[in-house]
Each structure stands twice: as structure tokens, then as C-alpha cells.
């Protein structure tokens, strides 16, 4: 809600977006196709042609292994309601994206946070999983690349998580909405759905592609059970997707490489500016430089996050996200570096800090 009244966003989790015209310009002949889009219901799991395009992003998933949703958010809600019930147990990578735990908690699911270790770059330790296991455990939620820290597990850690899930028959719900926005492409991990038969990969055009306004997300999985249950549940949500959005999404997916190059270039340049700023302001802040995505999680050395963010917003119109909003104490703020105007907005934060010090 605050995002609508703040004048300068410095916590956005998505990269710079673009207009419909800019997207269509990637395929000039596509304008006529947009005019011809039929405005009836689309196929419930998503337009087959779109699902065929999405399959090019994975190694072991064909067009039948997807359910397209209205954003990643709908898919999270649907997974929780389709695959879990009150009294089940869910292990969730934290700090994290609120829906990863709040939807399940609201259903009466017992949630155990699996805490990332700040002192070691927000890393996960798979050896901690055994102690969290209960007889009712049904699933693990992993977010990789991670919101809000930009952490990407090493391949060994990733394999150990998959093996733990396999050994214990758990679903592994892997939020991969930032996959593709690794700052060094060599750190990119496989999609969980490609390597694990009970893995469910969550994708979206909102983050990596920078097209949140398309409201287009999906799950990809080898599990017929998940596909059947989530298809049935979608009947109670949006039924089918927006036909114009599916049309535009096909174009976006076909041009994944170009969109990734564009967004990664902005992110890399901004990240250098932000890293230098935080080093210069080391008396106030510390962080672990993110390895992927558009956001980082910064520790405040002075004061508390909620008060700091409220005062900053009131005096400058700049919005940062305090960690209280994601249930992780009151000492961190989420900062976004995906937008082209990030250096300007950061300048306002810099001026505010000077004023505070004066």
C-alpha cells in the first residue's frame, strides 16, 4: 500500500519494466497477432503454444508439465491449498517472501522456519534439516535465488536439499522467480523440477523478465499428482488466464535471452553503485553483496528498521522495506536495485543521512 503513496521506491523487487509497444517491437509482425487475439476463455492450464515456449526454459519438462497462473502469487496460494492441509508440517526457507509461510499458517499448517545464516552470507545448512523433520512433514519451500538476500546455494548445498527431500518423500516447492538473474551466469542452478520427481518449480515473468504487469506465472513439475490437484483448485481461482497476456507472454518467453541481458546489465551497474555507497556508509550499514536478483538485505548498525524507514519516507518520500514486514526482527531493510533511476533515489537517501549527521 505504501508503494502507492511513496514518491521514490528504493525497495522494488522487480527490474525495470517496459511498455506493450516496446515488447511488441521485439517482433514487429506481432501487432496484427495481438489484434487477432480471441477474447474467449483460454485453456485452463495455459495456452498450449505458451506452454511449449515455457518448456524451452527447462530440460525435462514438456508442455504438459505446466500450469500457468495469474502471477507467481496465485501459484503459491494454489500449491499450498492443493497439496497441504491443516496439521501438516512445512519447512520454509527464511527470512523470506511472506506468502511462502503466511498462506500455510492461515490454513493451520505447522511452519518451521529454516533460517539462512547471515554470518555466512545468508547461506543454508542442509545438515540442519534432519532436526526439523517431523512425521507430518510434507514439503520444503526453497527460494533460490533468494528474496530478500540474493543468496544462491552452491551446487553441493542444492544437491543435499534435493537428496533430503527425496529420502523423506517431501515435495520441494522451489520459488525460482529470480532464476536467470544470477549476476554471474556460472552460478545458475538447475530448476528443481528438472532434477527431482517431486519437485515443483515456480516461475514468473514478473522478475527475471521485468514484466510484472502481465501477471503471468507458472508451476513446472514432473508430478501428475500436483498437476491434477492444482488444475482442479484453479477452477476456484482464476479458471483460465488472460488471453492478451498469454499472447504477449509468448513473445516475452521467446526473447528471454534479450530481456535477461537488458535487465542484468541494469542490475550489475546499479549493484556497483550501491555496493560503493554501502562501503562509504559502513558506519551505518552492512550487507552481503547479493549474487542474484534485484534486491539485497541490509543490516542497520544504528537504530531500528521500522523507525528509520518511517522517518526516511516522511522526510524524503523514499521507501525502503523494514524487516518487520517479513517477520525478521527490526534490524534490516530490503533495498532494490533493479530500476534505472536507482542511483538518483539512492542520492536522496545519501542526502538524508548527511542531514541526520549534521
Query: According to CB under 6 A, which one of 8, 11, 13, 142 is a site residue for ligand PLP?
Result: 13
**Per rule CB under 6 A, is residue 12 in the interface with ligand PLP?**
no
Of the candidate spans 24-32, 68-76, 105-113, 308-316, the one that interacts with ligand PLP by CB under 6 A turns out to be 68-76
- The answer to whether 38 and 243 have CB atoms below 8 angstroms apart is yes
**Per rule CB under 6 A, is residue 203 in the interface with ligand PLP?**
no
Residue 34 has a CB neighbour count (10 Å cut-off) of 14
Say how many residues make up the chain: 358
Query: According to CB under 6 A, which one of 11, 15, 45, 73 is a site residue for ligand PLP?
Result: 73
**Per rule CB under 6 A, is residue 71 in the interface with ligand PLP?**
yes
Query: What is the C-alpha to C-alpha distance for residues 163 and 331, in angstroms, rounded to an integer?
Result: 34
Contacts 24+ apart (CB under 8 A), 107-116: 107/80, 107/81, 109/80, 109/84, 109/85, 110/134, 110/136, 114/140, 116/146, 116/149, 116/151
- The answer to whether 248 and 20 have CB atoms below 8 angstroms apart is yes
Query: According to CB under 6 A, which one of 139, 142, 204, 292 is a site residue for ligand PLP?
Result: 204
**Per rule CB under 6 A, is residue 72 in the interface with ligand PLP?**
yes
**Per rule CB under 6 A, is residue 297 in the interface with ligand PLP?**
no
Q: How far is the CB of 210 from ligand PLP (least distance, A)?
A: 11
Contact string 106-145 vs ligand PLP (x = CB under 6 A): -------------------------------------x--
Q: Which is nearer to ligand PLP, 218 or 308 (CB)?
A: 218
Q: Which is nearer to ligand PLP, 71 or 153 (CB)?
A: 71
Q: What DSSP designation does 101 have? A: H
**98 is written with which cell numbers?**
511472506
Of the candidate spans 26-34, 69-77, 161-169, 190-198, the one that interacts with ligand PLP by CB under 6 A turns out to be 69-77
**Per rule CB under 6 A, is residue 220 in the interface with ligand PLP?**
no
Q: How far is the CB of 72 from ligand PLP (least distance, A)?
A: 4
Query: What is the C-alpha to C-alpha distance for residues 151 and 143, in angstroms, rounded to an integer?
Result: 9
- Rounded to a whole number of angstroms, the CA Rg of the chain reads 20
Query: According to CB under 6 A, which one of 153, 217, 290, 296 is a site residue for ligand PLP?
Result: 217
Q: Which helix (H) or strand (E) holds 203?
A: strand 199-204
At CA 88, angle to CA 82 and CA 93, rounded to 5? 85
Query: Footprint of ligand PLP on this chain (CB under 6 A)?
Result: 13, 71-73, 97, 143, 147, 175, 177, 204, 206, 212, 217
Amino acid at each position: 500500500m505504501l508503494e502507492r503513496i511513496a514518491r521514490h521506491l528504493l525497495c522494488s523487487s522487480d527490474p525495470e519494466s517496459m511498455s506493450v509497444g516496446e515488447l511488441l517491437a521485439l517482433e514487429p509482425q506481432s501487432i496484427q497477432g495481438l489484434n487477432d487475439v480471441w477474447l474467449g476463455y483460454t485453456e485452463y492450464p495455459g495456452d498450449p503454444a505458451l506452454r511449449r515456449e515455457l518448456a524451452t526454459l527447462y530440460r525435462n519438462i514438456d508442455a504438459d508439465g505446466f500450469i500457468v497462473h495469474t502471477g507467481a502469487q496465485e501459484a503459491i496460494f494454489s500449491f499450498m491449498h492443493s497439496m497441504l492441509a491443516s496439521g501438516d508440517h512445512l519447512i520454509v526457507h527464511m527470512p523470506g517472501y511472506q506468502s511462502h509461510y503466511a498462506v500455510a499458517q492461515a490454513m493451520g499448517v505447522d511452519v518451521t522456519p529454516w533460517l539462512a545464516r547471515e554470518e555466512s552470507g545468508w547461506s543454508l545448512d542442509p545438515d540442519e534439516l534432519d532436526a526439523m523433520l517431523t512425521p507430518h512433514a510434507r514439503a520444503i519451500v526453497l527460494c533460490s535465488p533468494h528474496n530478500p538476500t540474493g543468496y544462491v546455494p552452491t551446487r553441493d548445498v542444492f544437491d543435499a536439499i534435493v537428496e533430503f527431500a527425496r529420502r523423506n518423500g517431501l515435495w520441494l516447492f522451489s520459488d525460482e522467480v529470480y532464476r536467470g538473474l544470477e549476476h554471474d551466469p556460472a552460478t545458475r542452478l538447475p530448476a528443481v523440477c528438472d532434477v527431482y520427481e517431486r519437485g515443483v518449480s515456480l516461475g514468473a515473468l514478473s522478475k527475471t523478465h521485468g514484466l510484472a504487469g502481465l501477471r503471468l506465472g507458472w508451476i513446472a513439475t514432473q508430478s501428475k499428482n500436483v498437476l491434477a490437484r492444482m488444475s482442479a483448485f484453479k477452477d476456484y481461482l482464476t479458471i483460465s488466464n488472460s488471453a492478451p497476456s498469454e499472447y504477449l507472454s509468448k513473445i516475452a518467453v521467446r526473447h528471454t535471452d534479450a530481456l535477461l541481458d537488458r535487465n542484468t546489465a541494469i542490475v550489475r551497474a546499479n549493484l556497483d553503485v550501491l555496493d560503493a555507497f554501502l562501503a562509504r556508509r559502513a558506519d551505518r550499514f552492512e550487507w552481503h553483496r547479493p549474487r542474484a536478483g534485484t534486491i539485497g538485505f541490509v543490516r542497520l548498525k544504528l537504530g531500528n528498521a521500522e523507525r528509520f524507514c518511517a522517518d526516511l519516507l516522511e522526510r524524503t518520500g523514499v521507501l525502503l522495506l523494514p524487516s518487520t514486514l517479513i517477520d525478521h526482527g527490526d534490524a534490516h531493510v530490503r533495498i532494490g536495485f533493479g530500476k534505472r533511476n536507482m542511483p538518483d533515489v539512492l542520492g536522496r537517501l545519501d542526502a538524508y543521512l548527511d542531514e541526520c549527521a549534521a
